[in-house]
Structure 1
C-alpha cells in the first residue's frame, strides 16, 4: 500500500492496517489516530510531529525511525522495536511499551507519564529530562542510560537495572526502588526524598549532595557509597550496611541508624573528640549496637551533642 492509498483509506474510515511495509516513508505531520499497524515494517519512517494517538504499533519495526515530537499518548507499543529511534520530545502519556526495544534510542525531553515500560530494554538510551512520573518501570534495563534530570517521582522501579547509568540531578521522589541493584550508580545532587530503597544495593554509589529526606534505607547496602553533603534528615538506615561509606558533612537530623555500625570518622572527619557513649532514650539519635561505635544525637542546627 502506498502512502496516498493509505491516507485515502483512513479518510474513508478504515483503521485496520496490520503488517504494512512503510519502511523509510515520510509521514511527518500526518494524523493517523486509533489505527492498527501491528507487525508493520516502519523501519526508518519519518513520523516527526505526527499523530498516532491511541494507535496499536505492537511488534512493529520502528528502529531508526524519526518520531520527534510525535503525539502517541495511550498507544500500544508492546514488543515494538524502537532501537536507535529518535523520540525526542515525543508525547506518550499512558502508552504501553511492555518489552519494547529502546536500546540506543533518544527519548530526551519526552513525556511518558503514567506509561507502562515493564521489562523494556533502554540500555544506552538517552533519557535526559524525560518525564516518567508514575510510570511502571518494573524490570526495565537502564544500564548505561543517561537519566540526568529525569523525572521519576512515584514510579515503580522494582527489579530495574541501572548499572553504569547516570541519574545526576534526577527527581525520584516517592519512587519504589526496593531491593533494586543500584551499584555504582551516579545519583549526585538527585532528589530521592520519601522514596523506598529498602534492601537496595547501593555499593559504591555516588549520592553526594543528594536529597534523601525521610528515605527508607532499611537493610540497604551502602558499602563504600559517597554520601558527602547528602541530606538524610529523617532517613531510616536501620540495619543498613555502611562499611567504608563516607558521610562527611551529611545532614543527619532525626536519622534512624538502629543496628547500623557507623564509625565516627565516616560522619565527619573533623569530629576528633566524638565520645563513645550509648543513648538509652532513642529519639532521632544514632543508637549503635557495638561499644566501638558512637551514639550521637544531632541538634536541629546539625551540631553534635554526645
Structure 2
C-alpha cells in the first residue's frame, strides 16, 4: 500500500490498517487520529508532524522512522520497534510505550509527561531536555542514554538501569529511584531533592554540585562516588557502602 492509497482510505473513513506495509511512506502532516496500525511496517516512514493521537501502533515496526514533532498523545506504542527513530520534539503525553525498543532513538525535547515506559529499552537514546515528569519508568533500560537537562521529577523509576547515563542538570526531585542502578552515571548539578534512592547503586557516580537535600539514601551503595559541593541537608545516609573520592 502506498501513501496515497493509505491517505485516501483514511479520508473515506477507514481506520483499521493492521499489519499494513507502509515502509518508507511519506505521511508528513497526515491526520491519522484513532488509526489502528497494530503490527504495521512503517520502517523509514516519514511521519513528521503527523497527528497520531489515540492511534494504536502496538507491535509496529518504526525503525528509522521520522516522528519528529508528531502528535502521539495517548497513542499505544507498546512493544513497538522504534530503534533509531526520530521523535525529536514529539508530543507523547500519556502514551503507552511499555516494553518498546527505543535504542538509539532521538527523543530530544519530546514531551513524555505521564507516559508508560516500564521495561522499555531506551539505552543509548537521546533525551536531552525531554519532559518526563510523572512518567512510569519502572525497570526501563536507560544505560548510556543522554538525559542532559531533562525533567524527571516525580517519576517512578524503581529498578531503572541508568548505568553510565548522562544526567547532568537533570531534575529528579521527588523521583522514586529505589534499587536503581546509577553506576558511573554523571549527575553533575542534578536536582535529587526529596528523591528516594533507597538501595540504589551509585558506584563511581559523579554528583558534583548535585542537590540531595532530604533525599533517602538508606541502603545505598556510594562506593567511589564523587560528592564535591553536593548539598546533603536532611539527607538520610544509612548507606551500605561509603567510600568517597575527591
Q: What TM-score do the two structures reach when normalised by structure 1?
A: 0.76
Rg larger for:
1
Deviation of the 1:263 alpha carbon: 6.0
Question: Is 1:66 equivalent to 2:31 in the alignment?
Answer: no
Write out aligned runs for 1:76-155 (5 A): 76-155=46-125
Write out aligned runs for 1:14-33 (5 A): 17=4, 20-23=7-10
List 4+ stretches of structure 1 deviating above 6 A: none
Alignment CA distance shift 1:252-1:17 (3 Å): same
Give the whole-Å Cα distance in 1 for the aligned partners of 2:107 and 2:118: 17
SS at match of 2:221: coil
SS at match of 2:226: coil
Write out aligned runs for 1:199-238 (5 A): 199-238=169-208
Give the whole-Å Cα distance in 1 for the aligned partners of 2:21 and 2:12: 15
| 43-52 or 159-168: bigger deviation | 43-52
1:28 aligned partner: none
Contact in 2 for aligned 1:43/1:61 (Cα 8 Å): no
Give the whole-Å Cα distance in 1 for the aligned partners of 2:31 and 2:234: 56
Deviation of the 1:21 alpha carbon: 3.1
Deviation of the 1:198 alpha carbon: 0.6
Structure 2: unaligned runs, 5 residues or longer: none
Contact in 1 for aligned 2:3/2:27 (Cα 8 Å): no
Give the whole-Å Cα distance in 2 for the aligned partners of 1:99 and 1:126: 17
Give the whole-Å Cα distance in 2 for the aligned partners of 1:99 and 1:237: 33
Contact in 2 for aligned 1:44/1:64 (Cα 8 Å): no
Greater length-normalized contact order (CA 8 Å, ≥ 6 residues apart): 2
Structure 1: unaligned runs, 5 residues or longer: 1-6, 8-14, 24-40, 275-283, 288-306
Count of paired positions: 246
Question: Is 1:240 equivalent to 2:227 in the alignment?
Answer: no
Contact in 2 for aligned 1:62/1:83 (Cα 8 Å): yes
Please give the root-mean-square deviation of Cα atoms over the aligned residues, in Å: 2.2
SS at match of 2:227: coil
Q: What TM-score do the two structures reach when normalised by structure 2?
A: 0.93
